[in-house]
Amino acid sequence: MVSKVFSVWAVLGLVLATEGVMGRSIAPTDSVVASRHDPDIKVTFRETHICETTPNVKSYSGYITLPSISADHQHYKANIFFWFFESRASPRTAPLTIWLQGGPGAASSTQIASGHNGPCIVQPDAVSTTPNPWSWNRVSNMLYIDQPVQTGFSYDDEKGVFSSEDPRRTVNTTAAAARVVREFLDVWFQEFGQYKRDSINIWSQSYGGHFAPAIASFLLPPGKGNTGVYRARGHKDAGFHIGIDSVGIINGVVDLAIQAPFYPKFAINNTYGIKTISDEAAAFATQRMIQPGGCADQAAACREMQQRYDVENRGTNASVNGVCAAAFAFCWANVYGVYEAVSGRNPFDIAHLLPDSSPSVYGQEFLNNERVRKELGAKVNFTDTSNVVANGFIATGDFVRGYTSELASLLDAGVKVALVYGDRDYRANWLGGEAISLALRHTSHLAFAAASYVDITTNTSYTGGRVRQQNNLSFSRVFQAGHEIPYYQPQTAYEIFARTLRGLDVATGTVDVTLRGNGSYRGREYSTASQFSVDDVKAP
């Protein structure tokens, strides 16, 4: 969920020594285009020549400026930053993938340059870069969006070199974020229509377990098999819609009530034999989960209040916000938080003691380099993690409002769903991720539960993990990976992503599992089958 916050401002003094290291100085200029539908909506962008250096592969950065929308409770101007990269292979026909980092309030741009899934890897000098051989734009056009506003390079109003830091001038729920992303995409496709496809892919990480299913459900056209979770919650069908081909979630928090019981379990019984807390501490956390008035009861009370008084998850009902925020505070402190209080270990990687310097901060320092910001056309300093945004979501208890119903609805609409969990992460651990996969009440949930686990063949010499898959739904446990899987296991993460987009089985990439529009599959229905258990592999 809320990512580690790093100090990145000290690098500004490096810029004078960088001439010739990051590439030629191209003094780019912005193109400013007004929307055909609203002159107050603007697209400001430029072609970039840093990070992605593959010949003839284009990239663009810029802003979509959305005006105040009083009907949607947005009483401020939002300048949403994006960075787009063409696919290195056939960009005119390649699919389009939207990448949304979690947080809430974590910048998507960080993943571009951090050795995650973007085109470049920033080196220890925080200035020079090398190509990422496992960048996801090997197979897809990639659009990274810094959202919500006040995250990354996105801002409302400039206050010097920062956004306003005003908590009233950003969104405070996942549903509100989904509306803004929909408006963003509606405008973005008007200017970049050559990259629009009948269906797009939405992949995310961490709090993306909320963002990805919410945004995908909001975008999916009515009448396309969408059972309409959002419409059932009172959302209107008016507005921009587009098909969804796949939704991918990496170490995501989808539903805290389902995942929270696995915090104490994972802390003392993970497959690495690392007992991170005592049995007594684990028993304390478990008791706080199940006791009368504990985490489970408070989460249920939040859901009941939300369904009665805030059906659209707007976060505007003070009573609902109070109940849900109290539930989150109790669960976080008494169930999740026991590990952080006593383990002395990184919550994003149980194999690492604190303080921990990985993943590195080089990418964040790179993005806050003055020359890089100028080349990107960024109007404010880079904020890797926005506490203003995070605190807004905490105040509404958005963390407790789950998104399993949306994922089930997407599956029944024929959308491919990939749940991918690194097995060294505590914060969104794979035991809780597996529980999410089994809790999705889509039409094939019994068949999915009956499937077993098989190896993920990353290449001819390496097994990257285990996967359970039944047609369009896959759950992968990736070996030796913390919270940000592509950083730890770049090729395995890439193969899972590429195979999912191509409609192939995650295990081998050789079996077509694509769902046709009439509800049938191109071949026989696919289910993984073996004698493996997902938890029988100890640490190498």
Active site residues: 206, 425, 483
Token pair, residue 286, equals 């478990």
Query: What values do phi and psi take at 84, rounded to 5?
Result: -115, 140
Rounded Cα distance, 47 and 283, in Å: 55
Does 264 sit behind a cis peptide bond, omega within 30 degrees of 0 on the bond before it? no
Q: Are strands 78-85 and 141-146 parallel, antiparallel or unpaired?
A: antiparallel
The amino acid at residue 165 is E
**530: number of Cβ within 10 Å:** 13
- Neighbouring C-alpha atoms within 13 Å toward the C-beta of 229: 25
Is the Cβ–Cβ distance between 331 and 400 less than 8 Å? yes
Task: Say how far apart CA 94 and CA 84 lie, in whole Å.
Answer: 14
Q: Is 64 helix (H, G, I), strand (E, B) or coil?
A: strand
Residue 238 and residue 244: Cα distance in Å, rounded?
17
Rounded distance between C-alpha atoms, residue 362 and residue 115, angstroms? 10
Cα first-last separation, the chain? 28
Give the Cα separation of 370 and 8 in Å (integer): 12
DSSP 112-168: HHBTSSSSEEE-TTSS-EEE-TT-GGGTSEEEEEE-STTSBT-BSS-BTTB----GG
